């Protein structure tokens, strides 16, 4: 049925009726009313109850850990005095079972350029040196960092490094001040994600950071990756150990110079080549939990300026 024209008498009558009724409602609303103290009390307690319910819902939905996750975490206080993060960036994946064969290349998943290069020896030295440091400093946590970066393996760089450290008795088997960071896809993430993992593990952010890696990457870590996360220079140390193979080091150095240039133009690795590297390493489509466990780092993790060298300028837990 078509709607009636506005001029239709019945319609006008309807509007008139509403207008009259409105007038009455208005005057009814404005007239004084009597209410017993009991009535008032009931109304107030209803309002109070409703307010509390709202506050409760609001607290439950503020960002942070969902209850189902939080309820599985014990309030372990052994991590309380830990404030020194030792990072070991991973470079490959060890598939061996016995540390005696740690220098057998066929037990490592390596990139072609990593073969016959003395690099495995350097990886092992990174692991050994960081383990030694962590045993010396009771306030440290060593974080082996690196994701499942190769298609043909079932494990992560980090897990394999830590397993090797334990197999080689570099760390006691019940050692609690060592853990893995299983998601980093490059050096920038090795640093940033290890800080997030430190927070996930200890409940606090580190005060000092030591990175144990290739000497040839010192400049990149100290001048670029550290600066990108705005970590203070005086709280940062880099310990560099290269392969003994000098010829190999020259070749690696060339590659490093190229990556240094790329990084200085794309500090957060979120454009072209550096982003492509991350994609190429993420065959297993994994992603990290740090938005959940360190929501205060979310903005930094997502920071991707059009001008790639522009530094993150938002809030950070370690900037006073
Ligand atoms: C290295 O490991 C492979 C695979 O287990 C084995 O066949 C080979 O004999 C090992 N090489 C040496 C020198 O131990």
Q: Which atom of ligand 1 is nearest to the CA of 105?
A: 1
**CATH number for position 273:** 3.40.50.620
Answer whether residue 126 is part of any domain.
Answer: yes
Ligand 1 proximal residues by C-beta, below 6 Å: 101, 104, 106-107
Task: Tell me, in angstroms, the distance from the centre of ligand 1 to residue 146's CA.
Answer: 25
Task: Tell me, in angstroms, the distance from the centre of ligand 1 to residue 143's CA.
Answer: 29
> Residue whose CA is closest, atom 6 of ligand 1?
106
Task: Tell me, in angstroms, the distance from the centre of ligand 1 to residue 107's CA.
Answer: 8
Q: What is the mean predicted confidence (pLDDT) over 130-147?
A: 98
Here the tokens at position 47 are 């309002």
Task: Tell me, in angstroms, the distance from the centre of ligand 1 to residue 106's CA.
Answer: 7
**CA–CA dist 142, 209 (Å, integer):** 10
Query: For 68-109, where are the E strands, in sequence order?
Result: 84-89, 93-94, 108-109
Give the model's confidence band at 226: pLDDT under 50 very low, under 70 low, under 90 confident, else very high: very high
Give tens-digit pLDDT for 301-310: 999 999 999 9
Q: How many domains does the chain have?
A: 1
Give tens-digit pLDDT for 68-93: 988 888 766 567 799 999 999 999 99
91 neighbors 162 (Cβ within 8 angstroms): no
Q: Which atom of ligand 1 is nearest to the CA of 107?
A: 2
Q: What range does the domain containing 242 cover?
A: 80-302
- Residue 219 pLDDT > 80: yes
pLDDT of 74: 79
Pocket test for ligand 1, best of 96, 101, 105, 109 (most atoms within 8 A of CB): 101
Task: Tell me, in angstroms, the distance from the centre of ligand 1 to residue 46's CA.
Answer: 76
- Residue 189 pLDDT > 70: yes
> Residue whose CA is closest, atom 3 of ligand 1?
106
Query: For the chain, where are the E strands, in sequence order?
Result: 84-89, 93-94, 108-109, 140-145, 178-181, 208-213, 236-240
Answer whether residue 64 is part of any domain.
Answer: no
Answer whether residue 313 is part of any domain.
Answer: no
In DSSP notation, 176-207 reads SSEEEE----SHHHHHHHHHHHHHHHHSS--S
> Residue whose CA is closest, atom 2 of ligand 1?
106
Q: What is the mean predicted confidence (pLDDT) over 126-150?
A: 98
Answer whether residue 8 is part of any domain.
Answer: no
Give tens-digit pLDDT for 253-274: 999 999 999 999 999 999 989 9
Answer whether residue 5 is part of any domain.
Answer: no
pTM recorded for the entire structure? 0.81
Lowest mean pLDDT among 11-25, 26-40, 156-170: 11-25
Cα–Cα distances in angstroms (integers) from residue 75 to residues 69, 202, 294, in the given order:
13, 10, 17
> Residue whose CA is closest, atom 12 of ligand 1?
104
């Amino acid at each position: 049925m078509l709607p009636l024209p506005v001029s239709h008498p019945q319609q006008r009558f309807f509007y008139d009726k509403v207008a009259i009724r409105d007038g009455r409602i208005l005057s009814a609303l404005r007239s004084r009313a009597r209410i017993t103290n009991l009535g008032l009390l009931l109304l107030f307690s209803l309002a109070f109850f409703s307010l509390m319910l709202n506050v409760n819902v609001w607290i439950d939905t503020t960002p942070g850990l969902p209850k189902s996750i939080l309820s599985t975490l014990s309030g372990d206080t052994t991590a309380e005095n830990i404030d020194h993060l030792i990072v070991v960036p991973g470079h490959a994946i060890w598939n061996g079972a016995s540390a005696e064969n740690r220098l057998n290349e066929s037990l490592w998943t390596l990139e072609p350029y990593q073969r016959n290069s003395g690099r495995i020896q350097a990886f092992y030295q990174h692991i050994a040196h960081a383990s030694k440091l962590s045993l010396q400093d009771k306030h440290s946590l060593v974080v082996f960092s690196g994701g499942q970066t190769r298609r043909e393996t079932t494990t992560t760089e980090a897990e394999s490094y830590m397993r090797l450290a334990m197999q080689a008795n570099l760390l006691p088997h019940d050692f609690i001040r060592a853990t893995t960071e299983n998601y980093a896809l490059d050096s920038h993430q090795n640093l940033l994600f290890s800080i997030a993992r430190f927070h996930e593990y200890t409940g606090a952010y580190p005060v000092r950071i030591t990175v144990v890696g290739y000497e040839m990457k010192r400049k990149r870590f100290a001048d670029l990756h550290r600066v990108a996360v705005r970590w203070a220079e005086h709280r940062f140390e880099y310990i560099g150990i290269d392969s003994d193979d000098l010829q190999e080091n020259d070749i690696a150095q060339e590659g490093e110079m190229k990556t240094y240039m790329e990084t200085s133009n794309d500090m957060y690795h979120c454009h072209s080549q550096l982003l492509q590297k991350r994609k190429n390493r993420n065959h297993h489509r994994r992603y990290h939990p740090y938005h959940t466990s360190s929501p205060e780092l979310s903005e930094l993790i997502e920071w991707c300026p059009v001008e790639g060298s522009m530094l993150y300028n938002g809030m950070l837990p370690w900037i006073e």
